[in-house]
Structure 1
Amino acid sequence: MILRTQVRALVRRPARALLTGLALTIAAGAVFGTVLAHQVTRQVVVEQLSQTPTATDLVVGANPALDTLEKVRAVPGVVEATGRVDDFAELDRTSSAYLQISADPGTGPLAKVRLVQGRYPSAPGDVALTRRTADRLRLPVGTSFGLLIGTADTDDPESARPVVRATVTAMVEGDDDTAYTTDVLATRLAAVDGWTQIDVRVAPGVSVDAVRAKVAAVVGPDARDSIATGAEARASEQRAALADIDAVFVAMSLFVLLAIVAAALVTASTFRIVFAQRLRQLALLRAVGADRRKLARALAAEGALTGLVAAVLGVLAATALGLLAPLVLRGFDIDAPRLDFPVGAALAVVAGTVLITMLTVLAPAFAAARVAPLEALRTASTTSGQRGIGVARTVLGALVAGGAVAGAAGGAVIVLGDSRGDDGNVTALLLVVGSFALAFLALVVLGPVVVRPVLTVVSWPLRRQGAIGRLASSGVGAAPRRAASVSAVVALGVALIALTLVVGATTQAATDRKTASMAPEDFNLTAVDGAVVPDGVVTAARARPELTAVVPYRTATVRVGASQSEVLATDLDLRQLAPQSSTPDPRPAPDPRQPLANATAGMPGAGHAALDQRVARAAGVRPGGFVTVAAGDRTIAVRVAVILDATPLGTGMIVSAADLDRLGVRPGATGLLANAARSGESGRTAAYQALESISPAGQGLRLSVLADLRDETRESNTVVIAVLLALISLTVVVAVVGVGTTTALSVVERVRESGLLRAVGLSRAGLTVMLTTEAALYGALGATVGVLLGLPYAAMAIKVFHRTVPVELPFGQLAVAVVVLTALTALAGLLPARRAARVSPIEALATDG
């Protein structure tokens, strides 16, 4: 009977049930959405990354000989066979540009590219390029250019390589930096003696096994054992491609698990509020003979039913989004497969959500079932939340906090030790992660104690603004356990965001410095095979409007120290490089075990040198000491002025031009750095073409685009950070929903309080602002605690892997995160606040609350 009574109450108020389980709905939707995304992604990746077309019936591998292709085509039952080539050819021009030579029929079921302009190659020398490749290399349709066949002879660098003339006849959709042509024509452009593989299509109705046996009879003995069906070849490619995809989704599941934890915390807090609001009903049930255990079981069953509804809604919502995903992907010209509904996964998500709900509702249910029957005689139907925590909870929180401190201390000892290997890194990382988990658990246990002082600080500006600010602050402070439960979830999300932002900013700064050492400017024009950059080229480069920050330099191979280790020395003047965020940092390498000289922004003077930290370590030298440098039969001694994190362009030391002269290095620049005068791809392309036009052919000059390396590195870091923030946002969404739910339910139990405030003169707008400010305070509390929790663990995580890298604090991004979270929680509380303000004071005062 008790259970039936509770279910009826749940059915009478479905909105409250949906509100109670909203966080669970989001979590269930996220879990099932991840399952569907994994399914769709696997299928899309298989189609996009598979190198074997779906129409392929047989694949002959093991690099079959060139004459094997015609033999395979002559086999009865073979409709089509195409050879695949995978080789590179260098353009016969100043720039060190390479094109991958790829064989593709261009049309038909075995084609992997799609023609978008022109005529697909059909004559010797014809090639097809992607539009981006054609624009960068200035090779539009109709252009003829030379390709150097084979690789340079290292024993005779001056030996000439054969040049084949090629003509661009088409633009295709395919891989960039690739020249496509037919299989027979590809063998004339690439120095190959066999096919990478041969793809075979069998005539309809013909047995693939029978054709396979006939093909095996005509191919060589080495290729005979490598014949596979198209399905087998695609399955092998899929296993390789899906291994990384599965690893990514395993990482994603960890973030989904965090969202589940957040949803469980929000749900437990919500059930406490709901049960507290039904105090009189529960006391009446006790008064008429309801047993505590039966009442607790009824409340737990009510929670399980709420979880069931929430899980079903979450699964349905994720399914709806999954059905829309193929339509969205097709808008980007990505063929997405039809979604197969995983019934087993759906049932598992529903069952798991119900189980989690039952676990979260047990403690509130047993606490509510302990209500005394005499509580039915109280005039209020609700009870105020407990303000403190018991002794047992205090002791437990202290023990957990002590474990967090011990874990952090253990990680610090390993990090700061004189010697540590990879095992030490893993151990320290595990200690830091464990310490973070314990610290968050301590926050959950000791939350009401932590909230009070933080609330005093956070709400100080509000209290000074007037009565509304003081009322909002006191409203949150009146229920510290409730505030702690909600703000803890917000704190988890903000702590993860702070950790990601700090680690991302530090990694980006370190990567920028390292990348700037390898690519200090956009372009690098180098002389090879003992040549020099003509003075006329330097003068012309400085005169071109497409170029800026033109810096010539010399390099020479020298022997350093007693070990006579060979390193590359340069006289590149860092002061002449363009001022930008990625300019090589001349800061000393921060090694605490090695006293360093003060770094300067200038270049080493005559008799002085700046050493890369690896070179200095190998030579056993410190700042202020002397090291010998030898080239040929000349040896000089230089004083080490500073040890750098990294020296530019892969060199090992920077010396003055005078010291290179003393070593007998020939005059004349061996390289020239330059930046594009205009930003963007168009500016970079114009600069590239300008450098190419002023560089005479046949003088041993090679042009490299260093800016692409910087862009790729920065873009990859940005993508990783964006993905992490997107995954963490799931936890933040759950936290914001928790704030909105708490505010909505709090409004219900404080109807009389709201009416009293209206009766004494508080306007409807004032009440709305007060309740919205309370919701914002939940977010501000959690954001403040989250930042304080996330920053030290971010620093520890950085030091685990890079002890000498300085921690970068992105104060602006952190401030934006705090403001945005506070604003989101305020918005979450706005709707229930407006609903409460619409209730008239007379109705509110007459409410039994």
Structure 2
Amino acid sequence: MYRTALRNVLAHKGRLLMTALAVLLGTAFVAGTMVFSDTLGQAMKNSYTKSFADMSVLVTDYTADGGSGPGPKREHGTEQLTDATVKQFAALPGAAGARGVVSGFIGVADRKGDLIGQAWSARGANYVPDPAGHDARYPLVEGRAPKGAKEILLDRATAEKGGYKVGDTVRLATNGPALDTVLTGIVTTDDPEVSAGATLTLFDTGTAQRLLLTPGRYSSIAVKAGPGTTEDALLARVEQALPAGDRFRSETARSLTDEQKRMIAEGTSGMKTMLLVFASISLFVGIFIIANTFTMLIAQRTKELALLRAVGAGRSQVTKSVLVEALIIGVSASVAGLLAGIGIGAGMQALVHALDSTMPTGSLVIAPATIVVALVVGVLVTVLSAVVPAVRASRIAPVAAMSGGDQPATQKSLIVRNVIGSLVTAGGLALIAAGAATHNSDGRIPVAAGAFFALIGIFVLLPLLSRPVIALVGPLLAALAGTPGKLARQNAVRNPRRTAATAAALTIGLTLVSALTVLGASVGSAVDKAVTGSMKADYDVAMVNGHGLDPQLAARIAKAPGVSAASAVSYLPWRIEGVDSSAMSVDASAAGSLLKLTMTSGTAEALGQGLVLVDGRTAKASGLRVGSALQVTYPDDTRGTATVGGVFEGNDMLPSVLAGSAAGTGHGQEAEVRDILVKGTDGPTTALRQAVKDATGNNPVIEVKTKQDMRDEFNKMITFALNMMYGLLAMSVLVAVLGVINTLAMSVFERKREIGMLRAIGLDRRGIKRMVRLESVVISLFGAVVGVLLGCFLAWAVNGTLSASLPGLGTVVPYGKMLLFLALAGLVGMVAAIWPARRASRLDILASIKTD
């Protein structure tokens, strides 16, 4: 029987090619994902271990406000890391020296005024020269050390990107007006962040402290151990010398390296998991192709299998022979997939490095787990997919050798299948509806579980659904294509199970694609409404990296030509009615011109009287109304009250409490300015935008955005995320296309006599091609329609679970895109039918009629 199985694989290798290709693609996706993520993770670990090579213990003041730039700084107690602390650590027994480190945000503009690199990775630090004028951490390759407030050093990559040479004027970006400085030197560094594309600007220590922290203060101190002193021993001595309190954190270089490696491992693990999910989808789609292929092969070999039974083969032997065929295909396809996956991993690494040369790279990492997982998964998927067809093969009676054709499913089996499918589908849909009804994150697990069961149930019911759904397009096919159209419809419903298995592969892909599209459109619409519903201002001024703005910048912008109103927007760290909440301070005199408030009671002018405004949800939850006392706990843990002067309708872009600017001072708090809202005398004009930009000193990290700019920015994020998901789902769609091609090709072989008779009675080659193509289109559209409907329903349910975190979220169905997906599904069916249709039209008439 094993020799028979091997001969069957060799005899039907052409018909098994698509099955093997589906397994190959799925395992290649799995192996490629694992190779790429392991290689990238190892390269990043190797790179980031250099971060702590020049230190033994690092003491960090986690309250240091690195990145605030010029302007008032927030103090956190009296204890700080100062020069005295550096000397104290350097004098500890076993210490070879200590270095005070200042670090924070400083961006560098190129000659056109645009920011070099990304704002989130723009760093400033202090250069600590030795008596010879050199800093071992940052070797000078050209020029000299900076000596004054207007002198800086740049890393070599940043200088090259900006086209700067020693002696040039360089514009620096802070959270306030830009600064013009002189480049006195260029350095190199093995800092992995700089190697990864971060810009590095170095100042003398006094200037760095003034710009990034406060004079005399350090954000961290690096202590180096002397010969014979371990990191742990030095750490113990450092901790004894640390000031009291929990604001300082001390760690050894080894623990910092381990923590960095752990974070890298978690990051690459998340990426690997996401990619493996999409690889699993491709393999899941492949299950339908494999099962369909073996089902059709067994139907075509009914006589052969029945004869084997007649000459003495037992049921178990027939089952084993089919499973051995699947095993041979699974092993060979998995090995090929593993090799292809290694190539994919290498290609992804090369592509990422080509797109971003700053990404760390290294030799390929092919872990034993990658080999085992790729081979085991590929073989298991193939063999398990063939189990049901193998069992059916074993049930073929010897008497079937006297007749051909499919062994029709019994009425009992169809009833059982439909009942089970109906129950599973109903249970899944009920779980989805229950999860959506929670209107919070608690419903996500029921929705996910319901989606799984609903998909399984619908797959079971697809044969039942195929007949009435496809029958609806019967008149249209007949009208458009005449006899070939009628034949195409009849062929599509002739074997509902086969049609369902072929369509199911496309159903999976279209379910996910349509669900993601509806979710993206819904969230985008909700955010768009929130932006337009809360903002009267013409422009929003903010840092591109999310850092706070210089509090004095609002006053400068207010004096710019064409500005009628401007206000800093600050967020206050208050506890309101005993609950951590969100409060926002805004200039009371400008609030009415800048914010769109719909008052349900009281007036917005109450802000000018020192009162606060609360949104409707907070007022209802706490029983507040105009005149009520709002209990507030401030950052210094003191308590106070604020009087409610009005209640406004809640808005997603506004916090629950609005207060005047004066509310952000005192009680140990200094409100951080996140935005500055600007209203123009003549609305949003090019001249006004430029005037506001000029008021910032043309700072390249400060954006001046209109409401439309904010919409476009968010839409770009949604579009990017969707395009990435579409790209990852493309593999499963490709596997689904292979399934359609495979089914049609095998169906043509199975219907050779029928096609020969059609040719004999007058249907020309063009009619045969049209018949096969239309059959393919009908099957593809059937799967696509089911997938789009299910995807829209799932998106509606997921929106229900997000409604608490994103109030105002409604389900928005982009009908144009849904129709496009259906059109693309029809095109997929048309393309998939090219080869089978061509093959069918070229069958010899007499040879086909004589087919046994």
Same fold (TM over 0.5): yes
Structure 2: distance between partners of 1:678 and 1:120: 46
Q: CA 1:144–1:278 in structure 2 vs 1: closer, same or farther (change >3 Å)?
A: closer
Counterpart for residue 813 of structure 1 = 817
Counterpart for residue 315 of structure 1 = 338
Q: Would you say the 8 A contact 2:40–2:360 is kept in 1?
A: no
What does 1:187-336 correspond to in 2, within 5 Å? 187=209, 189-190=211-212, 191=214, 192-194=216-218, 196-198=220-222, 222=241, 232-331=255-354, 332-333=356-357, 334-336=359-361
Structure 1: distance between partners of 2:851 and 2:844: 11
Once the two structures are superposed, what CA deviation does each residue of 1:316-337 show, in whole Å capped at 9, x if it has no partner? 1101222333333342313321
Q: CA 1:748–1:709 in structure 2 vs 1: closer, same or farther (change >3 Å)?
A: same
Q: CA 1:209–1:282 in structure 2 vs 1: closer, same or farther (change >3 Å)?
A: farther
Q: Deviation at 1:786? A: 0.6
Q: Would you say the 8 A contact 1:519–1:649 is kept in 2?
A: no
Once the two structures are superposed, what CA deviation does each residue of 1:590-642 show, in whole Å capped at 9, x if it has no partner? xxxxxx99xxxxxx999999x999523344599xx995799xxxx9998x8x7
- Amino acid in the other structure paired with 2:649: I
Partner SS for 2:678:
strand
Q: Would you say the 8 A contact 1:102–1:180 is kept in 2?
A: yes
Q: CA 1:71–1:134 in structure 2 vs 1: closer, same or farther (change >3 Å)?
A: farther
Q: Deviation at 1:346? A: 1.2
Partner SS for 2:202:
strand
Counterpart for residue 779 of structure 1 = 780
- Amino acid in the other structure paired with 2:565: P
- Amino acid in the other structure paired with 2:760: A
Q: Would you say the 8 A contact 2:531–2:653 is kept in 1?
A: no
Question: Quick one: which of 478, 484, 492 aligns to 2:494?
Answer: 478
Counterpart for residue 457 of structure 1 = 472
TM-score using structure 1 length: 0.73
Are 1:393 and 2:392 an aligned pair? no
Q: Would you say the 8 A contact 1:57–1:231 is kept in 2?
A: no
Structure 2: distance between partners of 1:722 and 1:113: 43
Once the two structures are superposed, what CA deviation does each residue of 1:240-271 show, in whole Å capped at 9, x if it has no partner? 23323323433443333333322222211111
Q: Would you say the 8 A contact 2:566–2:590 is kept in 1?
A: yes
Q: Deviation at 1:795? A: 0.6
Counterpart for residue 673 of structure 2 = none
Structure 2: distance between partners of 1:82 and 1:59: 11
Structure 1: distance between partners of 2:167 and 2:46: 30
Partner SS for 1:340:
coil
Structure 2: distance between partners of 1:746 and 1:454: 21
Counterpart for residue 359 of structure 1 = 384
Are 1:643 and 2:655 an aligned pair? no
Q: Would you say the 8 A contact 1:212–1:227 is kept in 2?
A: no
Q: Deviation at 1:671? A: 5.7
Are 1:143 and 2:183 an aligned pair? no
Structure 1: distance between partners of 2:694 and 2:272: 48
Partner SS for 1:352:
helix
Q: Deviation at 1:147? A: 9.8
Q: Would you say the 8 A contact 1:523–1:674 is kept in 2?
A: no
Please list every run of 5 or more consecutive structure 1 residues that lacks an aligned counterpart in the other structure: 92-96, 153-160, 416-421, 542-549, 558-562, 578-583, 590-595, 598-603, 655-669
Q: CA 1:585–1:258 in structure 2 vs 1: closer, same or farther (change >3 Å)?
A: farther
Q: Deviation at 1:178? A: 6.1
Q: CA 1:461–1:520 in structure 2 vs 1: closer, same or farther (change >3 Å)?
A: farther
Once the two structures are superposed, what CA deviation does each residue of 1:656-704 show, in whole Å capped at 9, x if it has no partner? xxxxxxxxxxxxxx9634699999xxx9xx976542446899xxxx986
Partner SS for 2:771:
helix
Q: Would you say the 8 A contact 2:557–2:566 is kept in 1?
A: no
Calculate percent identity across the aligned residue pairs: 23
RMSD between superposed Cα atoms in Å: 5.5
Q: CA 1:84–1:820 in structure 2 vs 1: closer, same or farther (change >3 Å)?
A: farther
Q: Would you say the 8 A contact 1:73–1:80 is kept in 2?
A: yes
Once the two structures are superposed, what CA deviation does each residue of 1:510-569 show, in whole Å capped at 9, x if it has no partner? 2333455479644449996799679973xx33xxxxxxxx76367999xxxxx9x99758
Q: Deviation at 1:780? A: 0.8
Q: CA 1:454–1:327 in structure 2 vs 1: closer, same or farther (change >3 Å)?
A: same
Partner SS for 2:51:
coil
Are 1:846 and 2:850 an aligned pair? yes
Counterpart for residue 507 of structure 2 = 491
Structure 2: distance between partners of 1:113 and 1:384: 80
Counterpart for residue 59 of structure 2 = 61
Structure 2: distance between partners of 1:757 and 1:110: 86
Partner SS for 2:762:
coil
Q: CA 1:739–1:103 in structure 2 vs 1: closer, same or farther (change >3 Å)?
A: farther
Structure 1: distance between partners of 2:95 and 2:625: 74
- Amino acid in the other structure paired with 1:805: L
* Number of corresponding residues: 743
Counterpart for residue 503 of structure 1 = 519
Q: CA 1:531–1:66 in structure 2 vs 1: closer, same or farther (change >3 Å)?
A: closer
Q: Would you say the 8 A contact 1:518–1:649 is kept in 2?
A: no
Structure 2: distance between partners of 1:452 and 1:307: 33
Partner SS for 1:390:
helix
Once the two structures are superposed, what CA deviation does each residue of 1:795-829 show, in whole Å capped at 9, x if it has no partner? 11101220642211122222222222332233223
- Amino acid in the other structure paired with 1:290: A
Are 1:672 and 2:673 an aligned pair? no
What does 1:391-430 correspond to in 2, within 5 Å? 391-415=415-439, 425-426=441-442, 428-430=443-445
Q: Deviation at 1:501? A: 0.9
Q: Deviation at 1:755? A: 2.5
- Amino acid in the other structure paired with 2:102: V
Structure 2: distance between partners of 1:398 and 1:292: 31
Partner SS for 1:355:
helix
Q: Deviation at 1:340? A: 2.2
Q: Deviation at 1:223? A: 7.3
Q: Deviation at 1:745? A: 1.6
Structure 2: distance between partners of 1:585 and 1:479: 61
Are 1:179 and 2:201 an aligned pair? yes
Q: CA 1:738–1:60 in structure 2 vs 1: closer, same or farther (change >3 Å)?
A: same
- Amino acid in the other structure paired with 1:255: F
Q: Would you say the 8 A contact 2:521–2:813 is kept in 1?
A: yes
Structure 2: distance between partners of 1:289 and 1:497: 51
What does 1:9-24 correspond to in 2, within 5 Å? 9-24=8-23
Q: CA 1:573–1:340 in structure 2 vs 1: closer, same or farther (change >3 Å)?
A: closer
Structure 2: distance between partners of 1:675 and 1:431: 52
- Amino acid in the other structure paired with 1:723: M
Counterpart for residue 768 of structure 2 = 767
Q: Deviation at 1:213? A: 9.4
Structure 2: distance between partners of 1:227 and 1:343: 38
- Amino acid in the other structure paired with 1:348: V
Structure 2: distance between partners of 1:214 and 1:295: 71
What does 1:46-125 correspond to in 2, within 5 Å? 46=45, 50=48, 52-53=50-51, 56=54, 58-62=56-60, 66=83, 84-87=101-104, 100-103=123-126, 122-125=146-149
Q: Deviation at 1:455? A: 1.4
Once the two structures are superposed, what CA deviation does each residue of 1:1-49 show, in whole Å capped at 9, x if it has no partner? x22112122124333333233222222222222222321232344367x
- Amino acid in the other structure paired with 1:722: N
Once the two structures are superposed, what CA deviation does each residue of 1:379-412 show, in whole Å capped at 9, x if it has no partner? x5x4376597522212212221231243234335
Q: Would you say the 8 A contact 1:780–1:818 is kept in 2?
A: yes
Q: Would you say the 8 A contact 2:90–2:223 is kept in 1?
A: no
Q: Deviation at 1:709? A: 6.8
Counterpart for residue 616 of structure 1 = 616
Partner SS for 1:488:
helix
Partner SS for 1:452:
helix
Question: Quick one: which of 414, 428, 446 aligns to 1:431?
Answer: 446
